[in-house]
Amino acid sequence: MKIEKDPNQEIAFKRFALIAPLLQSSLSKVEERLLRKEIIAKGTCSDRTLRRYKHAYCQTGIEGLRPRLNTGTIRAISPSVFQSAIGIKKEYPQISVAGVIRILEEKKLITPGEVARSTLGPYLKRLGLTYQSGKYQIEKWMQQVSNQISRKELESKVGDLKDLDKLLIYLRDGSFRERKKAMSIIFHHARIPQSMAHDFLGISDRTYRRYIHRLNISGIEALFSNKTKKIKKIDNESIREKVFTVLHQPPKDFRVNRTSWKIVDLKAVLDNLGYKISRGTISAIVRSAGYSWRKTIEKWMQQVSNQISRKELESKVGDLKDLDKLLIYLRDGSFRERKKAMSIIFHHARTPQSMAHDFIGISDRTYRRYIHRFNISGIEALFSNKTKKIKKIDNESIREKVFTVLHQPPKNFGVNRTSWKIVDLKAVLDNLGYKISRGTISAIVKSAGYSWRKAKVVLTSPDPEYREKLEHIKSILSNLQKDEAFFSIDEYGPFAITKKGGLSLVAPNQTKTVPQWQKSKGSLIITAALELSTNNVTHFYSDNKNTDEMIKLTNSLLNKYNDYKKIYLSWDVASWHVSYKLFKHIEENNAKTSLIGGCMVEIAPLPSGAQFLNIIESVFSGMSRAIIHNSDYQSVKEAKAAIDQYFEERNNYYRENPKRAGNKIWGKERTPCKFAEDNNCKDPRYR
C-alpha cells in the first residue's frame, strides 16, 4: 500500500532542522546570537522568523512548526464592515486602502484606529481590489479619457464636477497644453493617484498641483487663460538705457569720490534717480553688453608684456626693489625670463593671481614658486640657470660599481652571508667611497630587470675563485691578437615547437591568446659559439646536451679557424663543459698541434653561477625576441629555417660592418653584447 506524504509535515521537519542548533540547553546568549547570525547569513529566513519557529516548537513541539491553514475567515474585521469596504472599493477603484478606511470612519461604520491599513489591505488584495491589482484598469480608463469618452461615463467617475462641459470641449478640441490641463482636473476629481496621473500626462508633480490649485482658487477661465510673460528688469529697455547713461559718465558727476565705477556706487546713484534695481540686475545688465571689470586689468597686463615706461610701472608696483633689472629682463630676456619678470611685476601690482598666471601661461604652482624664490633668495636666484642634476640611478659609474660588487659573493667583502641584502650592499659601497642610498641601489637593480624574489635569477656568483677567473678572461680579451679568437659558448633549449606568446602590436578590442595545452610539433637544442672580435655566430642543432656535442663544436671551430694560432673557449661550469673526455680531446689536439702545427685550444671558464657574464646569452635574447616570441611554426624544419636565416643575416651584417661585440649590437639584442663585470647578459625577460 502506497503511503502518501504529508507536505506540511515535511515543512515542519525542515523548520526543525533550521532551529535545531538553537535548542541546545548549554548555549549562552552570546553563542546563540552568533549561531542565529550564521543561519540568517545563509538567506533562508529572517531573525524574526527564527524566533517565531523556536517559540512555536517550545510551546507545542513539532506540531507548532506545521504551516497554519488559512480558512479565509476574517478575524480582525467584522463581515459587515468588510462588505462595506468592498462596496467602496468597487465604486471608487482608484481610491487607496487608507482612503477606504477614511470613508468607513466618516460613515461611522468603524471608530478611528479600529482597522489598520495592514489589516484590510491583504484581504482586498486577495480579491483583486487594491491599487496594484487595479492599476491596469486605472491606466486603461485614463487612456479612454485621453482618446474619447462620453459625458455619461465621465460623470459616473468624477461626480457633479462644475464646468464639466467646458472641460470636455478643451479635452476634445483644445491645444496639446489645454488637453493636459483638462485631463489633470478630470483625473484629480476621479481620485486617480497623483503619481500615476502626472506620469501619464508627462508633466511634473509641481505642474499638476499648480493646475488643480489654479482651478480651485480662480476658476476655469484663469486656468485656460494665456498669461503674458512678465518682462524682466534686465530686458527692460528704459532701465538698461538709464544704467548705461549713468555708467558712461564719470563718478564725480554724481558726487562719488572715485575714478571708476563700483556696483555699490552705481546702485546708490540709480536709487537716488528713482530706479530701484538690485546689484545683481545691474551686474547682469553690464555683463550682457560685454563689459567686464577684468578688461582694465587685462589691458594693463598687455601693456606690461609689450612696452611700458618705468614711470607707469612704478605708479602700479610702488617702490619695488630691483625694478630696473626686472625691466631689462622684461624687454631683452628670453621667453622664460620674461615670464618670471612679469610674475613679479603682476604680484606687486596686486593683480589677481588667477588672472596673472592665466595671462602668462604658467601654472598656479609655478607662479607662486617664482614669487617665493624672489622673496627668499632675491633676483639673482630667480634668474639663475639651474643645471639639471644627474640622478645617481642614471650615473653609469655608480651603476657599474653596484653590479661589480653584486656579482661577487658577499664573503669577498667580509660579509658573513651567502647572498646579498640591500643593507649589506650599501655598507660595502659606503666603504668603497660610494655614498648611495638603499632606495637608489634597489632601483638600479630593478631597472636591470631583476627581482630579489625570483630564485631563477642569479645575481651573485658563489665561486670562491670568482675574482681570479674574471681577471684571467679580462687579460685574454685585452691582449687578444689578430690570429687569436675568443668564443662565448652555450646552448639554447631544449624548447618545444608550439604557438608562443609574447609582446606584440594588436588592433583595438582584440586580444591575442595562446592555448595552455598544446601538442608539440618537435623540439630543438641550439649549440652556438659567438666569436667576440668579429661578432659572428657558429651554430648547429643537437639532440642532447653532452660532451660529444661539445667535442663536435670544438672540431667545427678548429676546422673553420684552422689558420688561427689559438682559440679560447669560454663557457659555464655545466657537467658536459668540464668533462674528462672533453679535456682529454683538447689535450690531444694541443699535443698534435705542438708537433705538426695548427690551432691551439685554451679553456677560459666562467665563474660558477655567472651566466650573466656569458655574452652569447645576449645574442640568444635578441634571437628569442625576434623569431621565437609570437611564433607559430608548423614544423621543426620551418623553425630551423627561421633560426638559420636570423644568424646568417646577423653574420653578414657584421662582415659588412666589422665591429667587436660591445656597446650597441645590431638592434635586436635586449642587453649589450659585451664582456664586462657589471653587465647582465642573461636577460631574465627573454625566455
User: 382-398, pLDDT tens digit by residue?
Assistant: 888 765 666 777 788 88
The most confident of the ranges 239-243, 409-413, 527-531 is 527-531
- 667 domain residue, yes or no: no
The gap from C-alpha 357 to its chain's centroid, in whole angstroms, comes to 31
pLDDT tens digits for range 195-211:
888 888 888 989 988 88
Distance CA 371, CA 324 (A): 17
Residues 137 and 125 in one domain: no
Distance CA 524, CA 491 (A): 10
Residues 106 and 32 in one domain: no
- 353 domain residue, yes or no: yes
Confidence class for position 259, pLDDT limits 50, 70, 90: low
Q: Which of 140-144, 258-262, 276-280, 565-569 has the lowest mean pLDDT?
A: 258-262
Element (H, E) at 314: helix 310-317
Taking the CA of residue 221 as centre, how many other CA atoms within 13 Å lie in the half-sphere pointing to its CB?
Answer: 1
Bridge partners of 107, per DSSP, are: none
pLDDT of 540: 92
C-alpha cell at 18: 533550521
pLDDT tens digits for range 585-614:
888 888 888 888 889 989 888 887 766 678
Higher pLDDT: 635 or 133? It is: 635
Q: For the sheet with 536-542, list strands across it.
A: 536-542, 523-531, 484-496, 566-570, 600-603
pLDDT of 527: 93
Q: Which amino acid is at 479?
A: N
pLDDT at 666 over 50: no
Residues 641 and 553 in one domain: yes
Query: Is the CB of residue 154 less than 8 Å from the CB of residue 168?
Result: yes
Q: Which amino acid is at 340?
A: K
pLDDT at 662 over 60: no
- 99 domain residue, yes or no: yes
pLDDT of 686: 45
SS3 448: coil
SS3 386: coil
Distance CA 16, CA 332 (A): 95
What average pLDDT does the segment 509-520 reach?
Answer: 77
CATH of the domain at 635: 3.30.420.10
pLDDT above 70 as % of the chain: 86
- 350 domain residue, yes or no: yes
Contact partners, residue 347, CB within 8 Å, separation at least 6: 353, 356, 371
Element (H, E) at 602: strand 600-603
Distance CA 568, CA 603 (A): 6
Residues 493 and 628 in one domain: yes
Bridge partners of 494, per DSSP, are: none
Distance CA 167, CA 178 (A): 9
Residues 148 and 216 in one domain: yes
Helices (H) and strands (E) in the chain, counts: 30, 5
Confidence class for position 663, pLDDT limits 50, 70, 90: very low
Distance CA 641, CA 622 (A): 17
pLDDT of 674: 55
- 456 domain residue, yes or no: no
Query: Is the CB of residue 207 less than 8 Å from the CB of residue 198?
Result: yes
Residues 282 and 315 in one domain: no
Q: What is the CB neighbour count within 10 angstroms for residue 482?
A: 8
Taking the CA of residue 638 as centre, how many other CA atoms within 13 Å lie in the half-sphere pointing to its CB?
Answer: 13
Confidence class for position 541, pLDDT limits 50, 70, 90: very high
Q: Angle 387-392-393 (CA atoms, 0-180°, nearest 5)?
A: 120
Q: Which amino acid is at 121?
A: G
Q: Which of 411-425, 476-490, 575-589 has the lowest mean pLDDT?
A: 411-425
pLDDT of 310: 78
pLDDT tens digits for range 301-324:
777 777 777 777 777 777 787 888
Residues 431 and 550 in one domain: no
Residues 200 and 325 in one domain: no
Residues 526 and 610 in one domain: yes
Phi, psi of 478 (to 5 degrees): -75, -25
In 3D space, the residue among 637, 652, 643, 653 whose CA is nearest the CA of residue 622 turns out to be: 643
Last residue of a domain, one of 173, 193, 224: 224
Distance CA 342, CA 423 (A): 49
In 3D space, the residue among 139, 150, 212, 143 whose CA is nearest the CA of residue 182 turns out to be: 212
Q: What is the CA radius of gyration of the chain?
A: 48
pLDDT of 393: 75
Distance CA 231, CA 236 (A): 7
- 679 domain residue, yes or no: no
C-alpha cell at 15: 523548520
- CB burial of 117-154 (b: ≥16 within 10 Å; e: otherwise) equals eeebbebbeeeebbbeebeeebeebbeebbeebeeeeb
Element (H, E) at 525: strand 523-531
Bridge partners of 538, per DSSP, are: 529
Phi, psi of 310 (to 5 degrees): -65, -35
DSSP symbols for 362-376: --HHHHHHHHHHHHH
C-alpha cell at 264: 555699490
pLDDT of 525: 92
Residues 124 and 140 in one domain: no
**Domain membership of residue 258 as a residue range:** 233-288
SS3 94: coil
- Burial class (CB within 10 angstroms; exposed 0-12, middle 13-18, buried 19+) of 671: buried
Tell me how far CA of residue 647 lies from CA of 45, 155, 283, in angstroms. 73, 99, 79
Residues 46 and 93 in one domain: no
C-alpha cell at 117: 491599513
Beta strand 566-570 with 600-603: parallel, antiparallel or unpaired?
A: parallel
The most confident of the ranges 52-66, 233-247, 300-314 is 52-66
- Indicate the number of domains in the chain: 7
Beta strand 536-542 with 600-603: parallel, antiparallel or unpaired?
A: unpaired
Residues 105 and 180 in one domain: no
Last residue of a domain, one of 383, 411, 432: 383
Query: Is the CB of residue 234 less than 8 Å from the CB of residue 280?
Result: no
pLDDT of 528: 92
Phi, psi of 465 (to 5 degrees): -100, 25
pLDDT at 348 over 60: yes
Higher pLDDT: 72 or 247? It is: 247
- 512 domain residue, yes or no: no
pLDDT above 90 as % of the chain: 3
Taking the CA of residue 314 as centre, how many other CA atoms within 13 Å lie in the half-sphere pointing to its CB?
Answer: 8
Mean of per-residue pLDDT scores for the chain: 80
Higher pLDDT: 57 or 287? It is: 57
- Burial class (CB within 10 angstroms; exposed 0-12, middle 13-18, buried 19+) of 435: exposed
Tell me how far CA of residue 228 lies from CA of 221, 225, 231, 236, in angstroms. 15, 9, 9, 15
Element (H, E) at 105: helix 97-106
- 206 domain residue, yes or no: yes
Query: Is the CB of residue 65 less than 8 Å from the CB of residue 16?
Result: yes
Place of cell 705542438: 594
Query: Is the CB of residue 671 less than 8 Å from the CB of residue 681?
Result: yes
Place of cell 538553537: 22
Tell me how far CA of residue 102 lies from CA of 21, 109, 118, 130, in angstroms. 48, 10, 14, 15
Contact partners, residue 281, CB within 8 Å, separation at least 6: 233, 234, 239
Query: Is the CB of residue 476 less than 8 Å from the CB of residue 568?
Result: yes
C-alpha cell at 109: 461604520
Distance CA 424, CA 442 (A): 12
Length of the chain: 687
Higher pLDDT: 663 or 339? It is: 339
DSSP 390: P
Place of cell 546563540: 32
